[in-house]
Amino acid sequence: MSTPGTREMPVRNPRTGQDDYLIHPLDAAQLAGLAGRLRQAQPAWAAAGVAHRAQVLRQWVGLLAADPAPVVDALSIDTGRYRLAASEMQSLRGLVEGYAGMASALLAPAAERASVVPGIGIDTGLVPYQLVGVISPWNFPFLISMLDAIPALMAGCAVIVKPSEVTPRFIAPLMESVRRVPELAGVLAVIEGDGASGAALIEQVDIICFTGSVATGRKVGEACAKNFIPSCLELGGKDPAIVLASADPAQAARVVLRASVQATGQACQSLERVYVQRPIYEPFMAALTAAARGTELNYPDMHAGQVGPLIFARQAAIIEAQLAEARARGARVLTGGEIEHHGGGSWLRPTVVADVSPDMQLMSEETFGPVVPVMPFDDIDEAVRLANDSRYGLSAAVFGAEAEARAVAARLDAGAISINDGGLTTEAFDAEKNSFKLSGMGPSRMGSSGLMRFLRKRAILIQRGRAKVMEDLDERGGRPAN
């Protein structure tokens, strides 16, 4: 265990606006010391085998499940919402069981095989990176940290996680639980810190898993490239939804609203722009605005309503600026539309916007708020062109008759397309996908490659035939016959 750093950073409470918590980022020497200790423990962790690692992780999950309140309560203060905080924690068991289930087969030693070159045997082994660095964002502070940490641990790596400085309260109780499983405490550390701490972490590890904005992802990718270490980058999105005339407009509207507004729109895979085929545009908009008006803020009671506060103070200003630009250019805000300040926090009711155009920021830049801008379209080619006209390519959704929707999905430049739903990647962790364009780089974080990206292949090549000797290099032997 490392002692806290001497630097102090205040942390804002999203429901009160008050700085009511302090974090103590490690200094560079402390971080190096921690990395050294984890590196020392890693070989035994890797040698213990998958079944043992799964058992240690299950023991930890059991401890957390028996007493979730300290972590869930801290996470709910971090994010200003309760139900999602509890579900972030509950997802840990599924992650551990999912990777435990696939790891024994994926990591089983492969039998030696004969090379296509006669006489040579090939024995391929898997070697985990010794120390993995995970840098995570503030929108799902626990879940996104664990999405990378659990498969890395299961692969046999040691892991340092550096969550966002915006939402760090869950770290102390989480590490309290880790310390109750000493073997795990030897190979897993979750540390407090800011961007400088993230940058310092890159200097200590063998591979980085980063989730966050494109701007920071670019810096992280560059720093990793300088150090010759791989970076797995999961970045922003501007996910489109295409609603075909063959969809049920009322049902599609309800699902689109949920997938846009879930977590107050502070989710990378939020539906942030909606294209609706003209024959059902009017009923879709009627159902969407009615459903949006029916939602409530989770204020003053955190355990009521569906819409939590905006977690990050600066995000409110970004959303306001995008809405102002859209309004100035003729967009009509049909519901919500004003940031509301209650008790020191900032909330935004689901904001449905009509009469938008593709060049508005609201339709092109990540909003990260509960805003649903909607545009009608006439033919499918136009919808596909509008959806693909983006620097992002994280995910998308298509609503309609399944065969037609699947045909449209196959034309979209995005790594995951939900059919008749939105954001299914957050439910199906076993669907492999890549992030297209500026939405990311590196292997799939989901499915078996989510585990395999932490392992390098090491080939042992055995010569069973005749090994070449110096005479084989003699130029006279290479003279063409004439």
Binding region for ligand NAD (CB under 6 A): 135-139, 144, 162, 164-165, 194-195, 198-199, 211-213, 216, 219-220, 234-237, 268, 366, 368, 394, 435, 440
Pairing of strands 9-12, 19-23: antiparallel
Q: How far is CA 241 from CA 18, 151, 276, 386, in A?
A: 37, 31, 8, 10
Phi then psi dihedrals of residue 449, to 5 deg: -70, -20
Shortest CB 430 distance to ligand NAD, Å:
16
Q: How far is CA 453 from CA 41, 52, 208, in A?
A: 21, 21, 11
Which tokens belong to 29?
Answer: 């020497």
Shortest CB 168 distance to ligand NAD, Å:
9
- Looking up tokens 């940058």 gives 199
Instruction: Taking each helix axis as running N to C, give the angle between helix 171-179 and helix 69-79, from 0 to 180 degrees, rounded to the nearest 10.
Output: 160
Yes or no: say if 371 and 362 are a contact pair by the CB < 8 Å rule: yes
Yes or no: say if 105 and 53 are a contact pair by the CB < 8 Å rule: no
Shortest CB 247 distance to ligand NAD, Å:
26
Residue nearest to ligand NAD (CB): 198
Q: Closer CB to ligand NAD, residue 183 or residue 239?
A: 239
Which tokens belong to 390?
Answer: 């983006």
Q: Closer CB to ligand NAD, residue 48 or residue 318?
A: 318
Q: Closer CB to ligand NAD, residue 168 or residue 376?
A: 168
Which residues belong to the active site?
A: 234, 268
Shortest CB 30 distance to ligand NAD, Å:
17
3-class SS of residue 126: strand
Shortest CB 56 distance to ligand NAD, Å:
26
Q: Closer CB to ligand NAD, residue 289 or residue 425?
A: 425
Q: Closer CB to ligand NAD, residue 38 or residue 394?
A: 394
Number of C-alpha atoms within 13 angstroms, CB side, residue 419?
12
Distance of CA 460 to the CA centre of its chain: 35
Residues pairing with 234 in the sheet: 211, 440
Q: How far is CA 217 from CA 85, 136, 145, 194, in A?
A: 25, 11, 16, 14
Q: Closer CB to ligand NAD, residue 198 or residue 309?
A: 198
Shortest CB 133 distance to ligand NAD, Å:
9
